[in-house]
Amino acid sequence: MKMALIGLGKMGANMARRLLRHGVEVVGHNRSQEIVQQLTKEEGLIPSENTLHAIQQLPSPRIVWLMLPCGAPTENMIQELIPLLDAGDIMIDGGNSNYHDSQRRGAMLAKHDIQYVDSGTSGGIWGLKNGYCLMVGGEKSAISEIEPILKALAPAEDRGWAHVGPIGSGHFTKMIHNGIEYGMMQALSEGLSLLKGKEEFNLDLGQITELWRHGSVVQSWLLDLTAEFLDKDQKLENIEPVVADSGEGRWTVSEAIDQGIPAPVLSLALHMRFASQDTPAYGNRLLAMMRNAFGGHAVQEKE
């Protein structure tokens, strides 16, 4: 199977590596050619000089996977690709796009007989090793065409990926996933802050988080990552307590308002990220390090 992958950032580059190692031919394109050259040399990526060159190297029906920032970068690339694709070709948006945009784009591409798939993609910087969780929306015919790609990216052929519904449902599912993620991170940071605040006990947070990883109700991959960085540094004094939000949490809270469904934990977790920029709390340092641990998101270090 042969496909194009456009957008070789932290996640896109590792997805290309995993696909190539699973026997999928990948034509790669990125605004910066340095990573294209690196992947060509190290993994056997098929390089492309520009978008047109990438499309020209694909058999019909062409399969193009986008891993670009949401908003204008993705929108502009879709507009650029439309005149280069033919009826029956498949376009997949694997970034964190708003599901409303995905629904609109699916309808727009349908007018050109281009099949559209929205894939909520989770796994962060660990996806290369562990595989990616793929929440896929679109027509059944399109999903069937790209199934070998989904199986290569997922943790296993029979798990870690699913066709969850029509166009838009993939990104909607990932949006709610990220909202839950906000709440889980907030709960861990608050609990660990309380442990640290009980100075008379002089608790070892590295020991306790490692303990909780085994047989505890709160055991999770997020706890695994937290235990790992706390084992190296519990004070986190060099980390600024600033926790960014990348958009999905806001969309989740907005959806809760639209549906009239109470979501106090998810809403408060989002507001705590806003508050982090004015609150020098230990919990915010923990949150910043969690985001770095699973997604490679930058942390602000003190000078």
3-class SS of residue 74: helix
From the list 145, 151, 181, 248, the catalytic residue is: 181
* Owner of token pair 């949401």: 70
DSSP state of 239: B
Question: Is 255 a catalytic site residue?
Answer: no
Calculate ∠ Cα 58-36-26, nearest 5°: 30
Extract the tokens encoding 152: 């290569």
Question: Is 181 a catalytic site residue?
Answer: yes
Q: Helix 248-259 crosses helix 264-275 at what angle (to 10 degrees)? A: 140
Whole-angstrom CA distances from 193 to 108, 199, 203, 204, 295 are 48, 11, 11, 12, 22
Extract the tokens encoding 39: 């992947």
From the list 145, 151, 174, 248, the catalytic residue is: 174
**Max CA pair span of the chain:** 69
Q: What is the DSSP string of 130-170?
A: H--EEEEES-HHHHHHHHHHHHHHSSBTTBSEEEEESTTHH
Catalytic residues: 174, 181
